[in-house]
């Protein structure tokens, strides 16, 4: 039995042949991303239907709780002056968590494609850099690399670049490992049940009984917990880095 | 259908995901944060208005209470004044009544005494006249006939009897 983990499927390719960008590929990642976006937007619209000031529905209570949680999260980590960051962090978190968990309904997570996390990390890195330049000026920003002594400059540049790389790779690695481990578990359980139930007659011996239920238990950690944790960590780091950049 | 590499960055996907992220940010802001924040703001404003209203109501109630207390104190003072005046007046009146009654009683007594004296004098005068008349009669009788000892005695008895009748 062969076990194989492949990258996202490419539905079709439009040969554009632009230098660096290459051919346009409509991949599974993009399609599922749009599904995720549609889900989140639909959820937002559904939650905010028929809003009232008094005697609110449970749905509105949930919507208010989500907004309050986002407000508290961003204000707690970054302070009040970063209120304009709340929708960005909320979008980042919701996209990340829904992308992570969408693998539960059989779609391929967009977060299992490094392009997604790289895009997010680059956006966050740009924000961090912009915040640093804003708080200490362009000269001050460049000068920051020579602290505490000029000889440290290469290491400082390296650590600066390590921020987006580590953010992207941490998130991607965790989600990909979940997919790999889930694939391995399915394969292993199929093998095990084939070995256990080979005495059953006919087609019954071909049914992998063990793959019913057992992977669900393991997916509590590898999909639910990791999916939630990585979304949370990504947003936490985003807010922390930007708040730190503003303080310098 | 072919697949892309497991670990790779596809430039088009990369760009699309950046755009997706910002689009998602706009959508979340437009469809979740804007309406909910509006509602929260409205509720906060309403709560504040209610607090202000309550403070106003409390202030006006306190003002009213102060006014009432002032009025009550004034009314109490007035009542005390009225009672004092009434008491004073009543005392004066009662004194006047007693005085008048005394005066009247005194005058009545005087009148009565004067009348008694007058009656007394009148009676005395009448008695005198009667006695005089009797004496005259007796004298006449004595003159008209001889008086026996028996008659004498009889006359005396008569006189005495008459006098006794008069008294």
| CA distances, A47 to each of A56, A60, A63, A102, A228 (Å) | 12, 6, 6, 20, 21
The helix (H) or strand (E) run that includes residue A23 is strand A22-27
Partner-chain residue, chosen from B6, B7, B32, that has the shortest CB–CB distance to A44: B32
Is A4 a residue whose pLDDT tops 90?
no
pLDDT (tens digit per residue) in B128-154: 888 888 888 888 777 766 656 777 777
Residue B105 lies in a domain: yes
Q: What is the pLDDT of residues A57-102, one digit of tens each?
A: 899 899 999 999 999 999 999 888 888 999 999 999 999 999 999 9
Q: Is residue B60 part of a domain?
A: yes
Asked if the C-beta of A127 comes within 8 angstroms of chain B's C-beta atoms, the answer is no
Average pLDDT value over all residues in chain A: 88
Establish if A29 touches chain B: CB-CB under 8 angstroms.
Answer: yes
Nearest CA in chain A to B35: A48
Q: Is residue B85 part of a domain?
A: yes
Q: What angle do CA A97, A174, A191 make, to 5 degrees?
A: 110
Cβ-based contacts of A64 with chain B (< 8 Å): 36, 39-40
Q: How many CA atoms lie within 13 A of B90 on its CB side?
A: 6
pLDDT for B1: 61
Residue B22 in domain: no
pLDDT band at B160 (very low <50, low <70, confident <90, very high): confident
The token duo for B135 is 């004496």
**Residue B137: what are its φ and ψ, rounded to 5°?**
-60, -50
More confident residue, A124 or A13: A124
Which of B15, B18, B24 to mutate to test binding with chain A, by most A CBs within 10 Å of its CB?
B24
Residues 43-62 of B with CB under 8 A from A: 43, 46
Instruction: Return the residue in B9, B26, B32 with the most chain A beta carbons within 10 A, the one to mutate for interface testing.
Output: B32
Q: How far is the first Cα of chain B from the last one, in angstroms, to the nearest whole number?
A: 172
Identify all chain A residues contacting B28, using CB atoms and an 8 Å cutoff. 40-41, 44, 87, 90-91, 94
Q: Is the per-residue pLDDT at B38 higher than 80?
A: yes
Q: How far away is chain B from the Cα of A188, in angstroms, using its nearest Cα?
A: 21
pLDDT tens-digit profile of B88-127? Answer: 999 999 999 999 999 999 999 999 999 999 999 999 889 8
Q: What is the pLDDT of residue A68?
A: 92
Reading the block at residue A28, the tokens are 């599974």
Provide the shortest C-alpha distance from residue A204 to chain B (in Å): 32
First to last CA, chain A: 56
Residue B15 lies in a domain: no
Band of the pLDDT at A1, cuts 50, 70, 90? low
Q: What pLDDT, on the 0 to 100 scale, is given for residue A242? A: 92
Residue B76 included in any domain: yes
For chain B, how long is the longest CA-to-CA vector?
202
Inspect the interface and report whether the beta carbons of B32 and A47 lie closer than 8 Å. Answer: yes
Question: Shortest Cα distance from A44 to chain B (angstroms)?
Answer: 5
Q: Could you tell me if A49 and A59 are in contact, meaning their C-beta atoms sit under 8 angstroms apart?
A: yes
Helix axes A28-47, A58-78, angle to 10 degrees: 110
Determine the pLDDT at residue B147: 59
Question: Distance of alpha carbon A87 from its chain centroid, rounded?
Answer: 16
| pLDDT, tens only, B51-93 | 999 999 999 999 999 999 999 999 999 999 999 999 999 999 9
Number of domains in chain B: 1
- What pTM value is reported for the model? 0.72
C-alpha span between B124 and B99 (Å, rounded): 37
A33-47, A189-203, B136-150 — most confident range = A33-47
In a domain, B112, yes or no: yes
Closest Cβ–Cβ partner in B11, B31, B42 for A44:
B31
Looking at per-residue pLDDT, the higher value among A46 and A212 belongs to A46
The verdict on residue B96 lying in a domain is yes
Averaged pLDDT for residues A238-244: 92
Q: How far is A120 from chain B (nearest CA, A)?
A: 6
The whole-number average pLDDT for the span A185-213 is 79
Q: Find chain B residues with C-beta within 8 A of A118's C-beta.
A: 9, 14
Which token pair is B35?
Answer: 């309406």
- List the domain range (segments joined by +) for residue B148: 52-166
Predicted pLDDT of residue B166: 58
Portion of chain A with pLDDT greater than 70, in percent = 99
A123 and chain B: CB distance < 8 Å anywhere?
yes
User: What tens digit of pLDDT does each residue of A135-161 get?
Assistant: 889 998 888 888 888 898 999 999 999
């Amino acid at each position: 039995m062969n076990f194989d983990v492949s990258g996202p499927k490419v539905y079709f390719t439009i040969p554009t042949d632009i230098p660096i960008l290459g051919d346009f590929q409509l991949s599974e990642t993009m399609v599922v991303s749009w599904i995720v976006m549609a889900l989140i937007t639909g959820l937002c619209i559904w939650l905010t239907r028929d809003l009232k000031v008094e005697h609110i529905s449970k749905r509105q209570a949930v919507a208010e709780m989500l907004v309050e949680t986002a407000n508290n999260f961003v204000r707690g980590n970054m302070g009040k002056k970063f209120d304009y960051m709340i929708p960005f962090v909320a979008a980042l978190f919701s996209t990340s968590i829904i992308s992570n968990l969408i693998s539960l309904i059989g779609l391929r997570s967009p977060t299992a494609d490094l392009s997604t996390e790289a895009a997010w990390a680059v956006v966050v890195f740009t924000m961090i850099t912009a915040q640093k330049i804003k708080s200490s000026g362009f000269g001050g920003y460049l000068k920051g690399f020579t602290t505490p002594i000029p000889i440290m400059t290469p290491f400082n540049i390296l650590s600066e670049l390590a921020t987006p790389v580590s953010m992207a790779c941490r998130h991607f690695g965790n989600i990909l490992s979940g997919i790999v481990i889930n694939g391995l578990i399915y394969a292993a359980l199929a093998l095990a049940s084939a070995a256990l139930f080979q005495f059953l007659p006919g087609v019954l011996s071909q049914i992998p009984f063990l793959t019913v239920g057992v992977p669900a238990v393991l997916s509590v950690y590898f999909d639910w917990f990791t999916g939630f944790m990585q979304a949370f960590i990504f947003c936490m780091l985003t807010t922390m880095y930007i708040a730190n950049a503003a303080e310098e | 259908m072919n697949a892309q590499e497991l670990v790779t960055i596809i430039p088009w996907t990369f760009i699309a995901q950046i755009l997706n992220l910002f689009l998602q940010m706009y959508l979340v802001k437009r469809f979740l944060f804007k309406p909910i924040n509006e509602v929260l703001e409205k509720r906060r404003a309403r709560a504040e208005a209610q607090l202000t209203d309550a403070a106003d109501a409390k202030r006006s109630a306190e003002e009213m209470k102060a006014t009432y207390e002032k009025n009550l104190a004034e009314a109490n003072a007035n009542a005390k004044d009225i009672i004092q005046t009434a008491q004073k007046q009543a005392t004066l009146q009662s004194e006047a009544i007693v005085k008048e009654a005394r005066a009247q009683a005194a005058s009545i007594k005087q009148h009565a005494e004067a009348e008694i004296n007058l009656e007394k004098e009148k009676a005395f005068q009448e008695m005198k006249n009667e006695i005089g008349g009797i004496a005259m009669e007796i004298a006449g009788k004595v003159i008209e006939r001889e008086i026996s000892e028996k008659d004498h005695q009889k006359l005396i008895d008569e006189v005495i009897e008459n006098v006794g009748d008069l008294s």
